[in-house]
């Protein structure tokens, strides 16, 4: 299975969530630090359980629970059910 790193931003009321999806390669440089307005940054590992690449939706099952996330459809073209992913999130106030 492939490993992916995820990150996308979307607002929920006054709060936002940041996630990015891109392939992970050996010796990937550390991501740039998030702005000081980001709080609670953490990473969750999980498995892709459903992908709708045309609409940009992906379902992920992790030990913390299940997530339904939205990405630009082009970001999901090579993502398949069963892929292992890493989702990085933070809240923005």
| Calpha distance 31→59 (Å, rounded) | 24
| Calpha distance 51→66 (Å, rounded) | 14
| Calpha distance 4→75 (Å, rounded) | 11
What is the domain count for the chain? 1
Give the pLDDT band (50/70/90) at residue 12: very low
Q: How do residues 23-80 score in pLDDT, each as one tens digit?
A: 443 344 455 565 567 888 889 999 999 999 999 999 999 998 999 999 999 999 999 9
The secondary structure of residue 32, as a DSSP letter, is P
The pTM (predicted TM-score) of the whole model is: 0.59
Per the structure, the complete domain to which residue 69 belongs is given by 3-92
Q: How do residues 53-62 score in pLDDT, each as one tens digit?
A: 999 999 999 9
Q: Enter the tokens of residue 72.
A: 């630009």
The secondary structure of residue 92, as a DSSP letter, is E
| Calpha distance 7→34 (Å, rounded) | 12
Q: What are the phi and psi torsion angles at 82 (to 5°)?
A: 100, -15
The CATH number given to whatever domain includes residue 58 is: 2.40.50
Other Cβ atoms within 10 Å of 58 Cβ, number: 28
């Amino acid at each position: 299975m492939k490993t992916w790193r995820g990150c996308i931003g979307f607002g929920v009321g006054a709060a936002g969530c940041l996630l990015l999806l891109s392939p992970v390669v050996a010796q990937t440089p550390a991501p740039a630090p998030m702005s000081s307005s980001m709080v609670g940054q953490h990473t969750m590992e999980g498995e892709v359980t459903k992908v709708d690449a045309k609409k940009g939706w992906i379902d992920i099952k992790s030990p913390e629970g299940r997530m339904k996330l939205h990405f630009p459809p082009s970001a999901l073209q090579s993502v398949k059910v069963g892929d292992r992913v890493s989702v990085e999130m933070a809240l923005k106030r």
